Structure 1
Amino acid sequence: MKMNDTRQIAAPPQQVWTALFDPEVLKACVPGCQDLSGNPEDGYEAVVVQKVGPVKATFKGMVTMADVVDGQSCTLIGEGKGGAAGFAKGHAQIRLEAADDGGTVLHYDVDASVGGKLAQLGSRIVDGFARRMAGEFFTRFQDQIEGPDISDAQTPPPAAPDDTAEPRKGWVKRILG
């Protein structure tokens, strides 16, 4: 299965690049991630629990980085095994470019495949699940960098007249910005 998309991120490319290689950011972005350890040079080991249609499984896998062009692009290569549920493997090519507004345009192309019981579910279920997972990952990634969208938050209680609190920033932005 192949898919691609583009995301506008309101942060400079170097900040986005740094977050892309941060294990804590990645763990927060992968839906169902129970554990993630490792580093960009040796790769990351992950444990992810997911339900695809009627099949729920714990996947243990490895993600490595390849074709790294510092600050511009890389390829994430992953493979996970879910026991009797089967396996999933694939790669995502990610490319960053500076946007005119000072932000970043993130492009991604994903090619993924599954086997075992997962493959028996049918392409509509598996393709829909893969699209949802990719979309959720990049939405979470964007939120980690930009912070939550204030319009998505519930209306806060009225502030006291002397309250001068600033709007919340994502933790990456607090550290780097």
Structure 2
Amino acid sequence: MAEALAVVGIVANIIQVVDSGSRVLKRLEEYQSKLGEIPEAFRHIKAELPVLLDALQQTKAAIDTGSLRDETKNALLPAVKGCGLQIKTLDNVIAEVLPALDDSWARRSKKAFQSLRHDAKVKKITGVVRGYIQTLTYHAATSSSLLKDPLTKHSLVRPHPPPSRSGVIHTL
């Protein structure tokens, strides 16, 4: 029962983070396409957030296929939750400081000034998110490299050979 809750908990959190992260990326892309360059504080997150979302999707795929142990799921859950909290905070900051297309010149100026106040907050969020990106991508990379030979795409996990007639198990 506990393992089923762990699976549901981490999968739900991953879906939530991917959804929030996708929304943040969409807002930044819309802003950039309509109004030109995005503020410097958001450039790094725009470049790095897709890596995080990909790592989370790989983790979810590993969960869906049953290739992650329960201990691993439980270990990843706090990182996924923490990451989700940072992405939600970032989404709120973006909503507050990036001007909308229909904002007046005065409102845009006010938001530009407000964005300067939030630079430190955005940098802090970006740093924390970077840590989660490193943790999750490292986990995804090591998990997949342990299971697959990168050159042949064959599984490295081999069944144990049957014992010989002498009772000695020969290893590869």
Question: How does the TM-score come out when normalised to structure 2?
Answer: 0.28
RCO higher in structure (CA 8 A, sep ≥6): 2
More strand by share: 1
More helix by share: 2
Question: How does the TM-score come out when normalised to structure 1?
Answer: 0.28
Give 1 or 2 for the bigger CA radius of gyration. Answer: 2
